[in-house]
Amino acid sequence: MLRARLQFRTFSSASRVAKWAEIPLAPPDKILGISEAYVKDTNSNKINLGVGAYRDNAGKPIIFPSVKQAEKSLLETETEKEYTGIIGNKNFQNIVKNFIFNNSDKDANGAQLIKDGRIVSSQTISGTGSLRVIAEFLNRFYSAKKIYVPKPTWANHIAVFSDAGLTAEYYAYYNTSKNDLDYEQLKQSLNNADNESVVLLHACCHNPTGMDLTSEQWDEVLQIIQQRKLFPLIDMAYQGFASGSPYEDIGLVRKMTKLTAEGKLSSFALCQSFAKNMGLYGERTGSISIVTESKDQATAIESQLKKLIRPMYSSPPIHGSKIVETIFSNQDLFQSWLTDLDKVVGRLNGVRSKLYEKLDKSNYNWDHLMKQRGMFVYTGLSAEQVIELREKYSVYATEDGRFSISGINDNNVDYLADAINKVVNK
């Protein structure tokens, strides 16, 4: 009997190996693959313009001073590391609601929606986690299974929505031949969208182009959304990176809360994270907010979010959310954070201007760089030119020509501009 059992186990193990051997090799992540190639490069002048994380003028990652102070406070006062609730704790949820929907005298509509109990907020695993959770939720409960995303959009959007069971299609957004917003085609493609479908909107600092709509353009787009009865899903990963102030960068949200409060828009959802504007990348601290039609609907939606999240990851991590809570609960820390954020954005804007000044404009119009906002510049360089920059000059960027300008500093801006000029003008 023992021999038979041993033979069976050997056979079973071999069978499992054969099945695993059928798994194909997945293609590498485009952005993470760039970082891996950069690390292996031995050129002392190498530049990494791929990763979307802030670097200081010395090319080093930072921790916001306000975040450091919050962590010191937590070290002294924190008394437990217990699980938080499935959708986070109430204090974090209230902070998020007020941060996004009720942060100034301009936000009477948001304040009313909060008072009426029509906004459901849930802590999630940063921005990507919030997108995945809302995608799963829409697939379960929303009538349409199609989501329209701008072309181009963040590289991970399509995978997140598709893996959750939604069908992703593009709407026009950017004209690569003119290096500008393709506004007329944008409106036309949304007018042609299937009624009641989901539409993804970038709140500010559109990734990857950095090209945002004006307030007047948003008004027209929102009119189309109302006419087509589209469900708006807002991705707000870079709140604060357009102007330096998180409260100046939510014009789209204010417009939508007004429409919802007036009954012209029934509902919308928003995904947000503190990864960029607090530098909490690895803490994975983000949220979903769903503006609902009624308090009863909000109660039902919250219960289903809990049911969805529970078997997925049970509950979110707490350290990042406690940092957020600590900063928002202390006025001095809060003002320090706003100053930290403004300095970060100020450096990025300064780097953008320096690069623009040093680029040769005799054969190429670089004016679009100064129209774009946020952490990226969408250069308009071809894939061949980007590859040449990588192979000849050790400048690493995604092949769509998107540069993360936080990788540029006083020590490398001349080298970078010279390399670009050589590639463009050859």
| Catalytic positions, written as ranges | 154, 235, 276
Q: Are 34 and 48 in contact (CB under 8 A)?
A: yes
Q: What is the Cα–Cα distance from 207 to 203, expressed in whole angstroms? A: 10
3-state helix, strand, coil in the chain (%, to 5): 50, 15, 40
What lies within 8 Å, CB to CB, of 416 at 6+ separation is 47, 355, 395, 408
Q: Which amino acid is at 121?
A: S
What is the spatial distance between Cα 236 and Cα 273, in angstroms, rounded to a whole number?
7
Backbone angles phi, psi at 49, to 5 degrees: -115, 25
In the structure encoding, which two tokens stand for residue 300, read together? 């039902």
CA–CA dist 239, 374 (Å, integer): 9
- Note whether 252 and 204 are within 8 A (CB): yes
β pairing state of 268-273 and 285-291: antiparallel
| Spatial distance between the Cα atoms of 153 and 137, rounded to a whole number of angstroms | 21
Between CA 378 and CA 388 the distance in angstroms is 17
Tokens of 396: 């690493």
Axis crossing angle, helix 331-358 with helix 319-329, rounded to the nearest 10: 100
User: Under 8 Å CB-to-CB from 207, ≥6 apart: which residues?
Assistant: 52, 153, 154, 237, 238, 374, 376
For residues 65 and 73, the answer to whether their CB atoms sit within 8 Å is no
**Amino acid identity at 425:** N
d(CA 237, CA 64): 17
Task: Kindly state the tokens that stand for 100.
Answer: 């996004």
* CA 107 from centroid of its chain's CA atoms: 23
Joined tokens for residue 187:
């409106």
